[in-house]
């Protein structure tokens, strides 16, 4: 679970960096990378929910 949280934090940092580059500097490629990170975050959040529910049943 701790490993999953670390992955989520790392991916969020990447998302925040790319989103800021797009919004502040108008970097279109950064927008593409930010969207990719957002999709990856979505997958990680689903995995977190699955693991969290399993652990709460113990």
pLDDT at 58: 80
The full set of domain ranges for the chain reads 2-56
In sign, the C-alpha dihedral spanning 39, 43, 45, 46 is positive
- Determine the 3-state secondary structure of 26 from DSSP: coil
Distance CA 31, CA 14 (A): 11
pLDDT band at residue 54, thresholds of 50, 70 and 90? very high
DSSP-assigned letter for residue 57: T
Q: Which token pair is 47?
A: 């995995």
pTM of the model: 0.86
Give every CB contact of residue 12 below 8 A, 6+ residues apart in sequence: 37, 41
> 7-35: per-residue pLDDT in tens?
999 999 999 999 999 999 999 999 999 99
> In the block, which residue shows the tokens 């925040």?
16
């Amino acid at each position: 679970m701790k490993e999953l949280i670390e992955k989520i934090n790392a991916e969020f940092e990447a998302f925040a960096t790319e989103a800021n580059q797009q919004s502040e500097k108008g970097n279109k490629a950064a927008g593409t990378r930010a969207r990719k990170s957002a999709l990856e975050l979505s997958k990680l959040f689903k995995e977190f929910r699955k693991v969290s529910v399993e652990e709460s049943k113990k």
